[in-house]
Amino acid sequence: MSTPTGALLGFLASRGLDFASLGSAYLVLLATVLLAAAAFITARHYLVISPNPWTRDHGVYVSWLLATLLIATLLENETLPRGSATTHYAAVPQLLLLLGLNAWIWKRQEPWLVALGATANAATIVVTVALAVATKLIGAAYVATALVLAALLVLLWLKAVSTKSQFLHADTIYIPSKEMPDSVVAPQKPWLGLPQWAALIAASVGLAVGNSLLRGAALEQIPATEVASESLLLLGVTAAVGAIPAATYWLMRKAWMPELTRLVWLAWMVVSFAFTYGNYLTARA
């Protein structure tokens, strides 16, 4: 007759939470923390961070990215047969710590906090790449997350980071700031602008092609009508999701939502995740 403790240990072991996996996750967390601490000290010594609207956006996008990975971890481990999942529950504590740190940046854009979050993200990328090269523990979801995280860090560098040598060797102490507080913000247009729609259409077509490849079709065998229909469906669902809060904002304030572009892109990310993950589960079943 099994005891409650034995039943609990069996339940955790069936989901990959044994002493070996927890010990490995602890070592990964320790390596990430040490690397992040060294990077943070270096960044505070050599870099200058100018908090601006992009630093807040960075916290928003990274938080959504990590939350998506956590949801994928839950769905994959609970819906696929035992032992076939490519994500690991043992990595959830580290993901939650990173999510909390970036959510804090979302709320407060202090230079030291932005530096801490950025260095923690960079350390996570380095450790993930090292594990992907040296072991077979890192699945496609972690690699994709690391790539998107790296792209967001590059944008943060371009938008909000300067080196102290720029201040030391500048002709004037009033060097151009990346914050640009005096810039005039153009009013948000309801149609988001042609570049935004072009980007949404291109991203939707690329996602439809990727989903077809995920289902096992060769690139030359993918019907154009299937790609077009899936792209239109993805854009339609995204527009429907974004239209509800946008219309509510218009009815209450008689003005367009100032962050409508970000809302639509976040809605597209959620909808595309649902589409892609549904195809992934279908392919793995």
Pairing of strands 47-49, 161-163: antiparallel
Q: Model-level pTM?
A: 0.63
Residue 86's SS3 state is coil
**Nearest to 120, CA basis, from 136, 141, 105:** 105
User: Cβ–Cβ contacts within 10 Å for residue 79, how many?
Assistant: 12
- Residue 165 has a pLDDT of 62
**For the CA atoms of the chain, what is the radius of gyration?**
22
DSSP 8-state symbol, 161: E
Residue 217's SS3 state is coil
The label of the residue with tokens 């839950």 reads 74
Residue 152 CA to residue 66 CA, distance in Å, equals 13
CA angle 152, 157, 160 (to 5 degrees): 110
Per domain, the residue ranges of the chain are 16-168, 194-284
Expressed in angstroms, the distance from the first to the final Cα of the chain is: 34
The label of the residue with tokens 């481990």 reads 77
- Residue 79 has a pLDDT of 78
- According to DSSP, the residues that pair with 162 across neighbouring strands are 48
- Residue 190 has a pLDDT of 54
- The answer to whether 77 and 15 have CB atoms below 8 angstroms apart is yes
Mean pLDDT by 10 residues, the chain (285 residues): 54 62 82 92 85 86 89 81 77 90 88 91 93 83 88 88 61 44 50 74 84 69 80 85 80 74 80 74 63
Alpha-carbon distance values, 49 to 52, 111, 147, 156, 228 (Å): 9, 6, 23, 9, 43
